[in-house]
Amino acid sequence: MARLDVQAIVTNDMAREGTTDPVPVTVSVTRSNGVPVTTLTSANFTVGNTWGPHRIAITGFQGGMLQIGVGATNAGGLYMMQLVPISGGTWVTWSTYHIVFVVQAGTDRGQTIAHLTFPKP
């Protein structure tokens, strides 16, 4: 088993509390030697919330060799997705979600944690 290096950026520019608005996420996955992992699918990702009963699902998955921006150079290993609450839930006001991203490719595995905050209005 080898370690995968995983980093995630969660941006909440669009989602509103009390809704199921999608929250965009970009995840970078590389091998421990820095080589990007470009062959993952959504099945390789497990995403969860470490606090409370609020369950989160992945939608809008894209990945591998994404080109971000006109003329951008992508070294690969970038995966874009959106998070939404499931189980009939909505984003909760005044909440911070600690979101764990686990990536497994064969016997290789890595994880990271990111946060999503809905501040007090």
Q: What is the CATH number of the domain that holds 63?
A: 2.60.40
DSSP secondary structure string, the chain? --BEEEEEEE--SS--TTS---EEEEEEEEETTS-B-----GGGEEEEESSTT--EEEEEEEEES---STT----S-EEEEEEEE-TT--PPTT-EEEEEEEEEETTEEEEEEEEEE----
What pLDDT is recorded for position 69? 46
pLDDT of residue 30 exceeding 90: yes
Q: Residue 21 carries which side chain, given as an amino acid letter? A: D
pLDDT of residue 64 exceeding 60: no
Give me the number of domains the chain comprises. Answer: 1
Main-chain dihedrals φ then ψ at residue 102, nearest 5 degrees: -110, 130
39 Ramachandran zone, left/alpha/beta (phi>0; psi -120 to 50): alpha
Domain hosting 99: range is 4-117
- Percent of the chain with pLDDT strictly greater than 70: 77
Mean pLDDT of 77-89: 81
Mean pLDDT of 21-39: 89
